[in-house]
Structure 1
Amino acid sequence: MFKNLFVILGVISFSFGQIQSPSEFLGYELGDSFTRHHKVVEYYQQLAAADPDRVVLEKYGETNEGRPLYLVFLGSKDIISNREAIRINHLKSLVGESTNDHSIVWLSYNVHGNESVSTEASMKTAFELLTAKRDYLENTLVIIDPCINPDGRDRYVNWYNQTKNNRIQPDPNSAEHFEPWHSGRTNHYVFDLNRDWVWMTQVESQARLPQYQKWQPQIHIDFHEQGVDQPYYFAPAAEPLHEVITDFQKQFQDEIGRNHAKYFDANGWLYFTKERFDLLYPSYGDTYPTYHGAIGMTYEQGGSGRAGLAIRNREGNLLTLKDRIAHHFTTGISTVEMASKNGERLQKEMAYFVQEGLDDPKTYVLSGNADNLKALTQLLEKHQITYGRGKGSLVSGYDYRTQTQKRIKADENSLIIPSGQVKNKLIHVLFEPNTKLNDSITYDITAWSLPFAYDVNALLSTKKVPFSTTESVNTLDAISKDAYAYVLDYQGFASQKALAALLDRGMTVRTSYSDFKINEASFHAGASILLAAENTNLENTLAQISEEFEVDFNGVSTGFVDSGKDFGSPSVTKTKAVKVALFKGEGISSYNFGEWWYFLENDLNYPVTVLNSEYLGYYDLDNYDVLIMPDGNYRNFDENTLNTIEKWINNGGKLIAQSGALGALSRQGSFNIKLKEIDRPSTDPLLPYELKEREGIKNYITGAIFKTKVDTTHPVAYGYDSNYYGLKLNRGAYELLPNGNLASFEADTTPIAGFAGSNTLEPLSNSLFIGAENHGRGRVVYFTDNPVFRGFWYGAKRFVANAIFFDF
């Protein structure tokens, strides 16, 4: 038993009904086995059925693989019966319109599937709160998400159960301690759901975040695991801490950490604080709540996918699943205890956090590509951020791209985002031109400014700007009858999604590779042309696609243009419904594979064949028009494999390769992609040991935004301006190509935002960012960095779609 932890009442004067402990319900001692998701759900259903006055189970969504997502509400009989009134009063109190004397705590478990102790601990925590610790629920509503990522967790649990020995084997070399590619950490599309809180690209996030917005808890805990050789981490967090974090948020993290330490010390358990896990990147399960005024924290237990039921760590100590459950259970109960005892302070300080920003006069004025702006408004709506359109006023402020003061007219095409609203601090974090770092050693990327991510212009004014909240209705033109042809102008990624749908539905599409004008209407290079004579049921199909993607098809009565190339010109060619294949497997980044897979199947909604790279010799590549090589080391690609790919390219195939895949092509010798030869400064041999990590970051780029020069005449760059602001995630610097440098770094490589080590900047000068070249009868597109990173860098999506569909 845990010494001095929680006193188990010998005699309990009230009835628990038929509530069963996890061990009683599951039929095995908690920690003796991993519990699959459906049994976890059944356990919580049993709790709700046995004590409906204190437990409510609500389904809030479903995963890609059909597993249900649930929230569990725990409270006193009064709290549960009045929880909707409590919720409304809580939200009103944040803006000074009501009062609230209840604490709301949200405990999130298993966002990473193979950090599998969390869900087990959730069941023990819920049982304890309903029995021995039910006094905490008299003034506290506890919301438990038992498993954010059941697809990943069941992937791990099923694999482990299939792999483990009958007798527990703690030997760290045993097979059960080494997950296969791509592990259970991620969801179905191999996305890290703990990086998706802001971007909400995944179905789990899209289902969960509206629920979180409804409740806005004062405390949110994200339960995790780390390496088996680390003990336990809890708050307070490490630097860097974002500047919007208040003194109270820092102070309460310290207080709650000391409360945890009291129990860990009593049991002789090891832990650490104030290291590794910072509060900067906004899309985590600790930072996102923090930027809403909550106390957002990560708890990290040693273990993760390697630990299994038991493992011996580097010190020779045995770490069991039961140990891991005990630690997460302890911090969970300790958290609820602190919330119960500090409800008034928590509510007061959260309200102060929100109300402090309500009168902030700063305003963000955005302009540019209409499709990009629309996509951005969709993200704003998901986060309940108010926006509007300009009313024609002149506005002065800081221009993001030129980094100078500028004066513009904010008309009806301008997107206006006022800072003075409930989400003031979140807006500041997401829209600031350059995040301030008080420590350059951080856990994730250091730049994410939404105007750059969505490739739109931005101006930050220190004053309020008049705006209208009434969005103009985008009236689509009716599909004209009996036209010679229909033209879809290239206006953004929506146009490319419509093109993908047309090709997928068997339509014959031609692409104009130059601007043209017809009937006084102007069209851009990349416009799609559909001849009535080449397509059946054309008008109905176009009407459906027009409505689905909110794009216009312009009917024309002739192919004779006023300027540019006629529709029968060699510059107007048929666009093939290409067959796309994507590599996966050992040696390939599982994250990047997932990003490409998701982009193709969801963003573009276009069919893709996934090929296991280990069986490349068994495939007939001639069945495919486009091959995609995600980031990876490709060590298993020998000379014969690369020769096979090159032969396929020479015969007319198109290869799209990213990041590490370029190294494999470079080794082949016949491709023009080459890493720059760099003489990096040597390290001072007398440098003190404690400074080596800080000295080392001079050689790394931790997600910084750079300005690149774009060849807007290249088909892969259609739709872009002459300058593109891209996110760079690695330090790789590539030589310019003899031809086809469609996006490149210029001489000045100072990042627009984010951290880049001083030793990385000079090599980037006059180097390649995105390139394309002919190779035999085929084509190769080089992405030196990740254009589909976490699915949120919307501005890069046109590059990818262009690379897939356009010829050059």
Structure 2
Amino acid sequence: MKKIFFSFCILLSALFNVQAQVQSPAEFLPTYGKQITYYHQVENYFNQLTEKSTLIKQQKYGVTAEQRDLNVFFISTPENLENLEQIRNNNLAAIGLSKNGNQMIGDKLIVWLSFNVHGNEFAGTESAMTVAYELVNPKNAETKKWLENTIVILDPCINPDGYSRYGNWLREISGKKTHPGLSDREHMEQWPGGRFNHYLFDLNRDWAWQTQMESQQRVALYNQWMPQVHTDVHEQGYDSPYFFPPSAEPIHEYIEKYQKDFHNVLGTNISKKFDAQNWLYNTSERFDLFYPSYGDTYPAYNGAVGMTIEQGGIGAGRAVTMSNGNIVTIQDRIDHHATTVLTVVESAASQADVLLKGFRGFMNNSRKTVKGSYKMYVMKNNPKLIQLAELLKKNNIEYSYADANVKASGYNYSTKKEKGFTIETNDLIVKVDQQKAVFTQVLFEPNQKLNDSLSYDITAWALPLAYGVEGYALKNSVGLKTKESIEMIEKVAPQKVYAFHIPWNNRISARVLSVLHQNNIKVRSSMGKAVFGDVSIEPGGLLVTKGDNPKVVDFEKTVSDLIKTKTDYNYITSGFSSNAKDVGGENFNLLKAPKVLLLSGKGVSSTEFGAAWYYMQETIEYPVSVVEVNNFNRISFYDYNTLILADGEYEFTEDQQKKLTEWVRNGGKVIAMNGALSIFEGKEGYALNPYASEEDKLNAEKEKDSLALDERFLDYQETERRDISRSIPGAIIENVLNKTHPLSFGLGEKYFSLKTDDRTYSLLKDALNVAYIPKDYKSYGFIGNGIKKKLSNTVSFAVDNKGKGTVIYMVDNPLFRGFWENGNLLFSNALFLVN
């Protein structure tokens, strides 16, 4: 017995010695708190913690586009870490998402901490090391008490590629001394900056849509754990006081009292710590809880208490002088963040019972007590449902397909009216009666209640309109037979095919066309409906004929292999049409393979460039040459036939403008979006003009002058809210389509555009107004009163034919954040079908 006791003492002593060897970030990293830490050094520090402490465990959950590891670290007591899988299953079982629960382990609170979603907000990752250290530090007895009933999941860097881009730049331009003066180059980050990921997407806007691989891998893990608390650690402009909860309005009506109550608890607890240090802070002023794809709202709509915390630091470099004369350093930023995050863990641990009860009530009661107006959503069968189903699957939202025909009545998203319709076999069905009831309603509810117009982001995202499908919201759940999936019948091409038909109806169509072009397969596109026996080819439908491709070996097998991902492809055995649209006639245009140039660099919006780049690289996997704007004069334009101009402020010289115009007139195609339209606006030879006539222009100028005179007498403190009345932060707007033009093919009866700024152009003269906002348009989301009337009879997408070439004007960006699925198809039309 004495030997056993002696051995136990030796083991305990050895364990204490190992724990005692855990080094703080300052002990491990020679420049910690003085210079940004390289990402590999961050990984080395966490490796040290996991090797020397029994309180922390690593899990690699993915990689970035640039092949950097994505990691989370579980921090708790050794006993809790040994039982992680059972604790996870217990948590899911308590909300009906697992059948493997075992309450013998007991209830544990799960707190998830996310750092550095924006790469240049680097004090997040720096502070993550201090937070992790204090949680495992054997000398910190207080944190050990918190971990008895709490599992901390710590993600030290959500965006390693952006963090590394910024960090490498800052290290390269740093001298031995800090330079707090604002004119020093370390306060002037170069394009595109480190905020975004590899493809320059803002990962903090991508939680729900999961267009990016980092988001997909992280949210998959998140949904395997479903924490009760999620903290999203950010930085803001360096001159801003610290922000912590409570959040600002608008707060979505589905966010419950227990979530708001804990925000107030945090506000009280964190403010005490800040008051003791005389640190400045604010709450409830700027960061709201509405748009569903943030790192605070996505968790909130999934039952957690989600929150954003913000330290002043963007543009600060290593040290910067604020307007009050104080210098904020990296160490200051670390201290503020670490204090706040540790207080979140402390507060959560002390309120574990309240948080667990609130979380479980949120998830379990929501399916019984529907928060919104509707209990069921029906999406009519459409090839675009493939992408919508993928989105639902990523978010663990249950769905099925109708396996029978049933009469029903529901709110039609397109007409905004109640309408009788028939639910038919293969329509997609989403019922609110599921564990993810609240998040389902947030994504599908037609009209989100906005209790304050001063929102931080877009205010509408109705999925049927984003995906371009006919959708209905039903107040009552209709009983009908359903199935889990749609059966796909594998096609076998006959021995002799005259032509393959690829319907033009979703992003897969565009990707298949991309593959065909890259394999030098000639393709035709239908300008109108053509009928060949039992095969109907709609406008935009692609034809690959044997006659156009005589050199293709084993035509049938080669082509069917290239297009097999488009499961609804078909074939015809004769070019003779029953409605006088023969394959060799004028109805079928031979498509020209695009040779694409995309401009980047200073003046170009990083995120909008990124959206175009991502579309080319990942959505359709088509080659694109990216050239910096400052190398414009070195471009051999006649090596290309297509130029993409993302949103931005382009400052072309007169000679450059002439060069561009000459190239267009000789057959070039320009796709210009948002701010890039200023290159052509009011310029000789182009149709783009904000006003239909001189009279309209004069009236607009008079109205502007009159408003300026009236504002002389208005209250200064309401300036921001008055500006909101003239803005449109992000709303869905109905557009009428010219369905005979290739730019509109495959989009449906109408196109609903996501409009994110107040830029407007009257219907153009001497150009084709392919998509325009009608007089009595329908809309979703907030539109300021000052702009609402001005949108009537304005163009959203137009085509200006110049000589042999074309300029496609896109007033709105159809590729915005990569999630507007019908926009992906519209852009594909511009790229491939508009010659």
What is the TM-score with the length of structure 1 in the denominator? 0.96
Q: What is the match of residue 552 of structure 1? A: 569
- Residues 424-482 of structure 1: CA deviation (Å, up to 9, x unaligned): 11111111112111100010111111111111122211211234142121223122222
| Farther off after superposition, 529-538 or 653-662 | 529-538
CA distance in 2, matches of 1:83, 1:261: 33
- Residues 256-301 of structure 1: CA deviation (Å, up to 9, x unaligned): 1211111111111111101100000000000000001101000100
Q: What is the match of residue 591 of structure 1? A: 607
Q: Percent identity?
A: 38
Letter of the 2:462 partner, please give it.
S
Q: What is the match of residue 123 of structure 2? A: 117
2:286 to 276, 286, 292: 276
1:746 aligns with 2:759: no
Map 1:181-196 onto structure 2 (within 5 A): 181-196=191-206
Distance 1:538 1:466, change over 3 A: farther
* TM superposition shift of 1:160: 0.6
CA distance in 2, matches of 1:324, 1:802: 48
1:458 aligns with 2:458: no
Verify the 8 A CA contact 1:735 1:767 in the aligned structure 2.
yes
CA distance in 1, matches of 2:834, 2:171: 49
Verify the 8 A CA contact 1:62 1:204 in the aligned structure 2.
yes
CA distance in 2, matches of 1:752, 1:807: 28
Q: What is the match of residue 810 of structure 2? A: 783
Letter of the 2:409 partner, please give it.
S
Verify the 8 A CA contact 1:286 1:296 in the aligned structure 2.
yes
- State how many pairs are aligned: 792
CA distance in 2, matches of 1:542, 1:206: 32
Verify the 8 A CA contact 1:366 1:451 in the aligned structure 2.
no
Map 1:74-223 onto structure 2 (within 5 A): 74-95=75-96, 100-131=106-137, 132=140, 133-223=143-233
* TM superposition shift of 1:668: 2.7
Verify the 8 A CA contact 2:35 2:318 in the aligned structure 1.
yes
| Farther off after superposition, 138-147 or 667-676 | 667-676
- Residues 1-50 of structure 1: CA deviation (Å, up to 9, x unaligned): xxxxxxxxxx999441532211222233x202211111111111111111
CA distance in 2, matches of 1:546, 1:474: 15
Verify the 8 A CA contact 1:487 1:527 in the aligned structure 2.
yes
1:796 to 793, 808, 823: 823
1:609 to 605, 612, 625: 625
- Residues 769-794 of structure 1: CA deviation (Å, up to 9, x unaligned): 11012101101111011110000000
Q: What is the match of residue 240 of structure 1? A: 250
Secondary structure at the residue paired with 1:123? helix
CA distance in 1, matches of 2:493, 2:20: 65
* TM superposition shift of 1:165: 2.1
| Farther off after superposition, 229-238 or 682-691 | 682-691
Q: What is the match of residue 523 of structure 1? A: 537
Structure 2: which 5+ residue stretches go unaligned? 1-12, 692-696
Map 1:186-585 onto structure 2 (within 5 A): 186-304=196-314, 306-360=315-369, 362-368=374-380, 370-390=382-402, 391-467=404-480, 468-533=482-547, 534=549, 535-554=552-571, 556-585=572-601
2:667 to 640, 649, 652: 652
CA distance in 2, matches of 1:587, 1:13: 57
* TM superposition shift of 1:514: 2.2
- Residues 367-397 of structure 1: CA deviation (Å, up to 9, x unaligned): 3462211210110000111111223222222
Verify the 8 A CA contact 1:712 1:719 in the aligned structure 2.
no
Verify the 8 A CA contact 2:367 2:433 in the aligned structure 1.
yes
Verify the 8 A CA contact 1:497 1:549 in the aligned structure 2.
no
Q: What is the match of residue 764 of structure 1? A: 791
Aligned-residue Cα RMSD (Å) equals 1.8
Letter of the 2:361 partner, please give it.
Y
| Farther off after superposition, 677-686 or 67-76 | 677-686
CA distance in 2, matches of 1:587, 1:43: 38
Q: What is the match of residue 666 of structure 1? A: 681
Secondary structure at the residue paired with 2:632? helix
What is the TM-score with the length of structure 2 in the denominator? 0.92
Secondary structure at the residue paired with 2:762? coil
CA distance in 1, matches of 2:756, 2:408: 34
Distance 1:167 1:508, change over 3 A: same
Q: What is the match of residue 8 of structure 1? A: none
- Residues 382-429 of structure 1: CA deviation (Å, up to 9, x unaligned): 011111122322222222222222222112132111001111111111
* TM superposition shift of 1:572: 2.1
1:717 aligns with 2:737: no
CA distance in 2, matches of 1:127, 1:532: 67
CA distance in 2, matches of 1:770, 1:22: 54
Verify the 8 A CA contact 1:105 1:142 in the aligned structure 2.
yes
| Farther off after superposition, 512-521 or 126-135 | 512-521
Verify the 8 A CA contact 1:418 1:465 in the aligned structure 2.
no
* TM superposition shift of 1:667: 4.4
Letter of the 2:26 partner, please give it.
S
Secondary structure at the residue paired with 2:308? strand
* TM superposition shift of 1:564: 3.5
Verify the 8 A CA contact 1:106 1:217 in the aligned structure 2.
yes
* TM superposition shift of 1:544: 2.6
* TM superposition shift of 1:562: 1.7
CA distance in 1, matches of 2:369, 2:579: 50
* TM superposition shift of 1:721: 2.7
Verify the 8 A CA contact 1:416 1:465 in the aligned structure 2.
no
Secondary structure at the residue paired with 1:94? coil
Q: What is the match of residue 33 of structure 2? A: 31
Secondary structure at the residue paired with 1:656? strand
Q: What is the match of residue 25 of structure 2? A: 22
CA distance in 2, matches of 1:214, 1:42: 27
- Residues 703-740 of structure 1: CA deviation (Å, up to 9, x unaligned): 01111110111011111333221111111111212331
Verify the 8 A CA contact 2:527 2:740 in the aligned structure 1.
no
CA distance in 2, matches of 1:110, 1:260: 21
CA distance in 2, matches of 1:655, 1:709: 23
Verify the 8 A CA contact 1:495 1:551 in the aligned structure 2.
no
| Farther off after superposition, 588-597 or 756-765 | 756-765
Letter of the 2:489 partner, please give it.
T
* TM superposition shift of 1:540: 3.0
CA distance in 2, matches of 1:107, 1:720: 41
CA distance in 1, matches of 2:684, 2:602: 23
Distance 1:466 1:505, change over 3 A: farther
Letter of the 2:531 partner, please give it.
K
* TM superposition shift of 1:580: 0.8
Letter of the 1:430 partner, please give it.
L
Verify the 8 A CA contact 1:302 1:324 in the aligned structure 2.
yes
Letter of the 2:582 partner, please give it.
D
Letter of the 1:345 partner, please give it.
V
CA distance in 2, matches of 1:723, 1:364: 24
Verify the 8 A CA contact 1:542 1:553 in the aligned structure 2.
no
Structure 1: which 5+ residue stretches go unaligned? 1-10
CA distance in 2, matches of 1:558, 1:397: 43
Q: What is the match of residue 5 of structure 1? A: none
* TM superposition shift of 1:596: 0.5
Q: What is the match of residue 45 of structure 2? A: 43
